[in-house]
Structure 1
């Protein structure tokens, strides 16, 4: 599962989302600079770290902050909610949940049994998008948040020996379709998995200092 990732403010956003405008990228870079060198983690009950997400609002793309994980009865869910299996979404009989794209420059996983951390990236500082599903959640103080769960798929062959799962990566040309499509869940998920293959093939893994 993906429980932490990075967003380097020096990112190259030229191939993040085809229709992302300069204002969106500038806002994302500003956030990354203010939070430089921070590892992005699930949102806590007390320390409410909110992380950047891209959503579709009135047919436009919007940069906002999301609560990583779901809220249930005002509290972080007691069941695993920071990740959602792609297989579960493929089995939905009807439409998909609302969706987001999570910007990142790398993510982290631990290789077992040696408990060694690895960083996964494109080999540089390319900005890429991780697929997420979202729902609204209300905290105990009454505040409403967009909660997100990163979609995980089986790892591609060259990464599998390090970790058996990886985020579903959304290439720039598929971003708007991921965010706005009204296709039934099985159809959209199959298209997303197919679109992700070239980007997933470019991901490298290397030991990370944690």
Structure 2
């Protein structure tokens, strides 16, 4: 699951990665949370023959997808993530998988390691970023919701997949990362059906990310500064004294 992420790169860096003609200035964001606006890239309208206009445009959407068939968003569970393995089968995502695939640029994301029940360990937050720095783009889906008064709002969610071995040490899911060479193929919903991009819905390469333990400041949406990504020393795991086995009890190990 991806419940928080960050985009701290400059607008110029994002514009260059996505191949956009222009991009409105925006501030660094260290703690992007559900229901907040997120920057996304979508396929541009069809180009005229011979045009050199980019095939992508950037728009803002609310993080939390609302399917078009929802009558009252207040009664609908907020969808910030969608399982890529079943997105093409679920009513909430099927149309978006076919017609409205998006890219979500990010400098990295946050994940929490939840200790086993009964453990004395505390919940530990991690800042997960590309080892070499820079930006990645998550695969996502978009729906435009029309309210009763006729107003429209673009909404989106991030696709997830099984975690690779690196991320799997703290969580069993991770965002789908779309390689830059596949941006256009992922966004091309006119020619490419979901089965044509299924090969992209896989865990990221093992050496892509590094995990940095951080403080619990990220838990609060009000905290939005760079200190959220400062490495902290993890407390050593408590050592529990094993109980001696009785003579009449078999060991499981």
TM-score, normalization by structure 1: 0.79
Q: Deviations over 1:122-159 (max 9, x none)?
A: 13541110100111112465421121110000010111
Answer 1 or 2: higher relative contact order, Cα 8 Å, separation at least 6: 1
Bigger fraction of residues in helix: 1
3-state SS of the aligned residue for 2:186? helix
Could you tell me which residue of structure 1 aligns to residue 33 of structure 2?
Answer: 41
- The corresponding residue for 1:62 is 57
Give the alignment's TM-score, normalised by structure 2. Answer: 0.67
CA 1:15–1:86: 2 relative to 1, 3 Å: farther
The answer to whether the 8 Å contact 1:91/1:185 transfers is: no
Alignment partners' CA distance in 2, 1:7 and 1:125: 12
Counting only pairs closer than 5 Å after superposition, residues 156-175 of structure 1 correspond to structure 2 as: 156-175=164-183
- Structure 2: how far apart are the matches of 1:174 and 1:124? 19
Structure 2 match to 1:188: 197
Give the equivalent residue in structure 1 for 2:112.
Answer: 110
User: Are the counterparts in 2 of residues 15 and 172 from structure 1 also a CA contact under 8 Å?
Assistant: no
Q: Can you list the C-alpha shifts for 1:31-59, whole angstroms capped at 9, x where unaligned?
A: 1x2xx34411111xxxxx32111111214
The answer as to 2:211 corresponding to 1:205 is yes
Aligned residues, how many?
Answer: 193
1:13 Cα shift? 4.4
Q: Measure, in 2, the Cα distance between the counterparts of 1:15 and 1:169.
A: 18
Measured after TM superposition, the shift of residue 208 of structure 1 is: 2.0
Which structure would you say has the larger Rg?
2
Structure 1 residue runs without a partner (length 5+):
44-48
